[in-house]
Amino acid sequence: MSFGKNVIEHATDLLRVLPRLTIANIGPIAKTKKKKLSRRGDARGSTRGLGKKPRTAYFAVGSETKKMPFFIKFPKENYYKDYMFKREYPPVSLVMLQTLIDLDRVDISKPIDLAAICKTGLYSFEPSERHFGVNLTDEGADIFKAKINLEVQWASESAIAAIERNGGVITTAYYDVRSLHILRNPQKFFEKGESIPRRLNPPDDAVLFYTSANTRGYLADPEQISWERLVLAQKYGYKLPKLEDDPDYEMLMQRKDPRQIFYGLEPGWVVNLKDKIILKSIDPTVNEYFKS
């Protein structure tokens, strides 16, 4: 019975029409391609085809397995509370100062600063470790003999007396962290080509220290400071030498403005070490900010 075409005739008709066999037309052989196990039942059980292990209890990464964890073991001790917010002042004794002066590492004919002490290379001071400057200590108060204009960040009473006894002058000043980095290595700062910034106010803890005449703060009243000099002289039993009669009066009276970082350089100026130039801006808005 022939209803229409034969199978063979069908096939030959198709062959005339269909495209040529290529790799793109052929599918893969069965059993060579694995099925993707993306469905729920494909995992071959709870162990996912990996078999049963002897220890099936795996603790969380980093846990200490039923022990008291290390950070809970030891109780809190309040003596170290807020240690990261406290300021440190690494010390310089009067003995150390005297040695620096005797060995000509420091120039007495100019005012002595944090920068001068750091330049000697014998004072270790890291602003990144919450060090805020120099702490002048008593050791060597009976040996000290030098007339200097000193600027320091912390000083005790007897250290102040030792310096004033020899006809010198001492002030305590606060520098914020950026100014400390600048003072520590001024060459590095000037190579950046930036303008000198302003010094910031001291924090609330330190305001009383730097505004009182007892400690010769840089924000204190100069009349009160001269009064306190008399008081100290009477307390420690020495005669206060007169500064006005001194030939180095001008050098001893040289003090920094509260917003000034360097002696002789104002904030807002640009200093170039290569050409040895100081540049000052004409822009009034800029000057208004830096001179306020």
Partner 1 sequence: MKIELLNDPSAEDFSKQLLTIESCMFLWLTLCKKRMMEIKKVETQKRRNILNFMQSNKIDLIKRPIYTKIKLYSHQKTLRWHRKQFGLYGNASGINPAICFTTKEEIDDIKEYEKVAYDKSFIQLRNEALQRLEEEKKQYRIREEEIERKLENMEKWKEQIRQKMNVKQIEVVEAKQKRERLLEEVRRFFGYTIDPKDEKFQIMLELKEKEQKKLEKAEKKKMKEERFLAKLASLEHDTSKNTNDDKEADKEK
Q: Which of 219, 240, 243, 251 binds partner 1 (CB under 8 A)?
A: 219
If the CB atoms of residues 123 and 209 are measured against partner 1, the closer one turns out to be: 209
Within residues 261-290, the interface with partner 1 by CB under 8 A covers 268, 270, 272-275, 277, 279, 281, 283, 285-286, 289
- Taking the least distance from each CB to partner 1, the nearer of 63 and 285 is 285
**Shortest Cβ 128–partner 1 spacing (Å):** 19
SS3 per-residue string spanning the chain: CCCCCCHHHHHHHHHHHCCCCCCCCCCCCCCCCCCCCCCHHHHCCCCCCCCCCCCCCCCCCCCCCCCCCHHHHCCCCHHHCCHHHCCECCEEEHHHHHHHHHCCCCCCCCCECHHHHHHCCCCCCCHHHCECCCEEECCCCCCCCCCCEEEECEECHHHHHHHHHCCCEEEECCCCHHHHHHHHCHHHHHCCCCCCCCCCCCCHHHHHHHHCCCCCECCCCHHHHHHHHHHHHHHHCCCCCCCCCCCCHHHHCCCCCCCCCECCECCCCEEECCCCEEECCCCHHHHHHHHC
177 belongs to the binding site for partner 1 (CB under 8 A): no
223 sits near partner 1 (criterion: CB under 8 A): no
Pick one of 123, 190, 236, 238: the residue that binds partner 1 (CB under 8 A): 190
Nearer to partner 1, 112 or 220 (CB): 220
Nearer to partner 1 by C-beta: 54 or 284? 284
Q: In this structure, is the dihedral angle defined by the CA atoms of residues 134, 169, 171 and 140, taken in order, positive or negative? A: positive
95 binds partner 1 (CB under 8 A): no
Instruction: State which of positions 240-259 bind partner 1 (CB under 8 A).
Output: 258
- Does 200 sit near partner 1 (CB under 8 A)? yes
Please select the residue that binds partner 1; options are 171, 202, 216, 228, rule is CB under 8 A. 202
Q: By C-beta, is 213 or 240 nearer to partner 1?
A: 213
Site string for partner 1, 23-52 (x = CB under 8 A): ------------------------------
Residues lying near partner 1 in the complex (CB under 8 A) are found at: 190-195, 197, 200-204, 207-208, 211, 219, 258, 268, 270, 272-275, 277, 279, 281, 283, 285-286, 289
